[in-house]
Chain A
Amino acid sequence: QVQLQESGPGLVKPSETLSLTCTVSGGSISSYFWSWIRQPPGKGLEWIGYIYYSGSTNYNPSLKSRVTISLDTSKNQFSLNLSSVTAADTAVYYCARDLYARIPEVDCSTTNCYAGWFDPWGQGTLVTVSS
């Protein structure tokens, strides 16, 4: 069965770039979408973005200017970079497989046309932004 594991620094300084990697085991990364999701301490979930094995990406509009998600199929890994971090970016960061579905009634040329749900999830990694 597919398993995901996040890795990366647990402490990042303000204004720097947060970088995390998710390693996928038990299955190939060369299918499905792959998402990053975060959860500030004591708060709810926030979707950050996804990448498709082709390399195409889609990001949460509220984070789009600071987010880059990339893929390394040779290592079965995908990564998250979040730039110019502040204390508000302190959160548990999860990676997850995104089981997408094309929505037939939505025009892909005008908006995102792929719904999705997340299964499985990695265990999560806490990233604290502090000097």
Chain B
Amino acid sequence: EVQLVESGGGLVQPGGSLRLSCAASGFTFTDHYMDWVRQAPGKGLEWVGRARDKPNRYTTEYAASVKGRFTISRDDSKPSVYLQMNSLKTEDTAVYYCTRLMYHASSSYYPDFWGQGTLVTVSS
């Protein structure tokens, strides 16, 4: 059974840092790209970023709203994906989901499995 379990959320002050983890099981982690997506309370979904796999040199992509502050990494040996969040702002308050991407034709990838999410609250 595919499982993605996020952890590391909590309350942090503006300007602070937090590291989210997403532990994967039930599938071959090394075969998949991984995305992070967030949802602010009462709001819609927002894509945060992507971590590609080893053949693609673990390259990453980020939303403009987090670029330079957030870093996505992965450890295939764990297997886990991480979201390091620095210089946090109140507008980063959200439930953060990690997602597994499945490859489809024509170099397209779609999030076919989502974790249950972890809540990050940025407040003084």
The yes or no verdict on A and B being binding partners is no
